[in-house]
Amino acid sequence: MSTKQKLELNWIGKHKRPRLEPRILLEDKALSYGDDDSENLLIHGDNLLALKALEHDYSGKIKCVYIDPPYNTGTAFESYDDGLEHSMWLSMMRDRLEIIWRLLSSNNGVLLISINDDELHYLKVLCDDVFGRDKFIANLIWNYEGNTDNQAKIINYHEYILVYSKTGRIDDPSVFDPNLPESSKLFNAEIRNTIVKNGPKNPPKSVLLPAGFPCSFQEGHIYKSDVQYPSYDNDLVIGNGKLKNPVTATTGWSSKSILEAFINNNFEAVLDSKKQETIFEITKTGAIEAVKRREQRKGHFVSVLRGFGTTNQMRLMLSKIGIKFTYPKPVNLISYLIEAFTGENDIILDSFAGSGTTGHAVLQLNKNKSTNRKFILIELKKETVDSVIIPRLQAVIKGHKAAAIEPHGGGFRYFHLAPSLLKKDNWGNWVINKEYNAEMLAEAMCKHMNFTYAPSQTQYWNHGYSTETDYIYVTTGSLAYEQLKVISEEVGTERTLLICCKAFMTEGADFPNLTLVKIPRAILNKCEWDQDDYSFTLNVLSTTEQPDDIDDEDTEGEEQL
């Protein structure tokens, strides 16, 4: 028995994980809206299955994931024994976070999770367990400016937003705290500070300022007796914005090494410890100032978020569109977060879409900043999709006078999850779902076999590829020797083809460029089948009997010819 111990979060059902089916997504063009070529996606379906459906095409491509999951306040768990709801919530979150992590970009992809006090600390430990503590960036506090005029013993009007990064690093936020005064020096193109710093830890030292040292004014004469700090050994003569005679300055310095690097660099900008471009100038008073040039993208982001509106204001705006939703997050808050952590062409995912605020925020950013960010929204409840998200996004895209929303432009494509590829027949055998047509089957098999679905317009046997020379062909037919021979000749010796079919005749065949597998046998044990709801289930035992029987008699699943 192992005696090795480790620090970890444990709960009932922790070690049971669902074996997810990688479903395909089906577009409903009647519900898609706006630009025909829009890359924005609205997906209806269980969000765990939807995340799995995205994994093949979007792994490593999502720059920012914002989620506002259920806070486990008890209403979703009324039928369960006390205590089990926490295990269910942790399993629900863990399973989704693991896929989200794979979707995030390795280029400082960021995960933002809204949460309140009920599960904050469990969630923090869970995220540390899934991602690693070194990936934690910050715990933001959102002051939601709610009603404080009540009788509660402790009036709570804040929530949290946990921030994790795929790399443990983030890009420099380009946003400014909206509460900064307009006079803040942070809005200046440059920051100027004296580098004189006298004290016990900064004893006076001398630095030679050569002729040509920059000045902040064009012409003048500074008498050494008029300057207290630094102490000069000679008067300063300035012409054409430069020191005309060398002088020695003696004082305590805050940035002596950087000043000397600037001098040695022929008065060209040098980088300080924060990688800011820095130059030095003599002012009219004889002071020496460091001038730090601020990057255009460099912002000022603080951990307490205020001044972004309230849920009441958002609820009122939605009501003017004819939408009822209890606690919509302020669109300006989500827009601010997205702008802070993403670039102008990045993809943002929200797998708990709710009222669709994330989609609204992306459209708003694109309009206001002339960017091309894309969103992917996932929502389980069909009623919420139809009566909240779709009308809201439509109002934002085309404009809505009553809600004071200007036309933002853009669009979205509406998708829903395909049903399970396999269903049990009347005899309890797993068979291909009759709802699948040939195209759906080919796309689904590509996902299961890790191929990219890209059907050729000229080669009937080419449904997709995994490399430049490896292809896949999917058919429900039975292939005879002569058919295989023709296909093999067309594929040629420089390519290989995986054939997924109902049955095949291989006696005497010798086709080294073909590999044949039978469906559904080839995928039977790859995942759980016919599971449509992973919303809140305690992962201890599967509720549906999984593959045991199949619909063909041959026990051979794969054959290399």
Cα–Cα dist 512/492, whole Å: 10
Q: Are residues 132 and 202 in the same domain?
A: no
Count the neighbouring beta carbons within 10 Å of the beta carbon of residue 257: 11
Q: What is the pLDDT of residue 190?
A: 80
Q: What is the pLDDT of residue 115?
A: 95
Does position 518 have pLDDT exceeding 90, yes or no?
yes
Q: Are residues 55 and 163 in the same domain?
A: yes
Enumerate residues 6+ apart whose C-beta is below 8 A from 150. Answer: none
Q: Are residues 162 and 263 in the same domain?
A: no
Task: Count Cβ atoms within 10 A of the Cβ of residue 158 and give its class: 0-12 exposed, 13-18 middle, 19 or more buried.
Answer: middle
Does position 82 have pLDDT exceeding 60, yes or no?
no
Q: Are residues 42 and 172 in the same domain?
A: yes
510 pLDDT tier (thresholds 50, 70, 90): confident
12 belongs to a structural domain: no
Number of domains in the chain: 3
**Distance between terminal CA atoms of the chain?**
48
Last residue of a domain, one of 518, 535, 550: 518
Q: Are residues 327 and 402 in the same domain?
A: yes
Does position 51 have pLDDT exceeding 90, yes or no?
yes
Rounded average pLDDT over 67-78 = 68
Rounded average pLDDT over 507-523 = 88
Indicate which CATH number applies to the domain containing 81.
3.40.50.150
Q: Could you report the per-residue pLDDT of 361-414, keeping only the tens digit for each?
A: 999 999 999 999 999 999 999 999 999 999 999 999 999 999 999 999 999 999
Q: Are residues 49 and 141 in the same domain?
A: yes
Q: Are residues 45 and 133 in the same domain?
A: yes
533 belongs to a structural domain: no
Q: Are residues 47 and 96 in the same domain?
A: yes
Cα–Cα dist 491/456, whole Å: 13
538 belongs to a structural domain: no
560 belongs to a structural domain: no
- The answer to whether 447 and 22 are in contact (CB under 8 A) is yes
47 belongs to a structural domain: yes
Does position 549 have pLDDT exceeding 60, yes or no?
no
Rounded average pLDDT over 182-199 = 81
Q: Are residues 194 and 173 in the same domain?
A: no
100 belongs to a structural domain: yes
Of 539 and 501, which is predicted with more confidence?
A: 501
List beta partners, residue 288: 282
Last residue of a domain, one of 417, 451, 481: 417
Does position 96 have pLDDT exceeding 80, yes or no?
yes
The overall average pLDDT reported for the chain is: 90
Q: Rounded to the nearest 5 degrees, what angle is found at the Cα of 384, between the Cα atoms of 357 and 43?
A: 75
Last residue of a domain, one of 417, 451, 474: 417
Does position 76 have pLDDT exceeding 60, yes or no?
no
Q: What is the pLDDT of residue 146?
A: 64
Does position 544 have pLDDT exceeding 60, yes or no?
no
Q: Which two tokens stand for residue 533?
A: 């709801």
Q: Are residues 397 and 450 in the same domain?
A: no
10 belongs to a structural domain: no
Q: Are residues 174 and 216 in the same domain?
A: no
Q: Are residues 96 and 69 in the same domain?
A: yes
19 belongs to a structural domain: no
Per the structure, the complete domain to which residue 42 belongs is given by: 25-180+300-417
Share of the chain above pLDDT 90, in %: 76
Q: Please give the DSSP secondary-structure letter assigned to residue 328.
A: P
